[in-house]
Chains A and B, each alone.
Chain A
Amino acid sequence: EAGVAQSPRYKIIEKRQSVAFWCNPISGHATLYWYQQILGQGPKLLIQFQNNGVVDDSQLPKDRFSAERLKGVDSTLKIQPAKLEDSAVYLCASSFGGTSGGDTQYFGPGTRLTVL
């Protein structure tokens, strides 16, 4: 089966510019996640959707980051305006969406963002 798709794979922008990332989850997966992975660190959850509703956005910097999943399938993550510290890999993941703690998340290849 097809995996989680993300685009673009790489993006270079200047600070204060805006940028958007796209994610298409595995077909049939109700839950979608966006993570930020700063170099040398583990991924950190930014936002979690169940279908088109937000389950957890407690670590999303809402003054500059926004995300949507309007039809409950693909999703976009936007940063406006970008700061230097936003340089990171942005990972999208999806899962079937059970409430069990063992629900497996499948990750996309990520988008590497460099802010100059």
Chain B
Amino acid sequence: AQSVTQLDSHVSVSEGTPVLLRCNYSSSYSPSLFWYVQHPNKGLQLLLKYTSAATLVKGINGFEAEFKKSETSFHLTKPSAHMSDAAEYFCVVSPLRGTGFQKLVFGTGTRLLVSP
């Protein structure tokens, strides 16, 4: 079975400082990994995804994540936080399958707070 653990329920940063949101995964298969963002009263939006290509993945809005198989981690980073980054972030795992269909398993989320 596959699962993800988001190590922090809340992260607080100041505008202009780096962001680190931590995620560890467990999967019996070679997984696909995703980060989604959810702004209040809006739908989930894909930030980036890893699907067994380059281990450093660049996403939208300056976010990136690095797949580390030895550490079973997929942490999300951004060099400089912006006020508009304040939202809920979800780490998501899905096993790569040769047949059958994708099934996403979400973490519990990390709320990012950005102060001026």
* Contact between chains at A42 and B96 (CB < 8 Å): no
Q: A87 near B: Cβ within 8 Å?
A: no
Give chain B residues whose Cβ lies under 8 Å from the Cβ of A41: 108-109
Closest residue of chain A to B44 (Cβ to Cβ) is: A107
Q: B77 near A: Cβ within 8 Å?
A: no
* Contact between chains at A109 and B41 (CB < 8 Å): yes
Taking residues whose C-beta sits less than 8 angstroms from the other chain, chain A's interface range is 20 to 34
Closest residue of chain B to A48 (Cβ to Cβ) is: B101
Q: B46 near A: Cβ within 8 Å?
A: yes
Write out, one digit per residue, whether chain A residues 33-51 have a CB within 8 A of any chain B CB (1) or not (0).
0000000111111001010
Interface residues of A in 16-41 (CB under 8 A from B): 31, 40-41
Chain B residues within 8 Å of A, Cβ to Cβ: 31-32, 36, 41-46, 49, 51, 90, 92, 94-104, 106-109
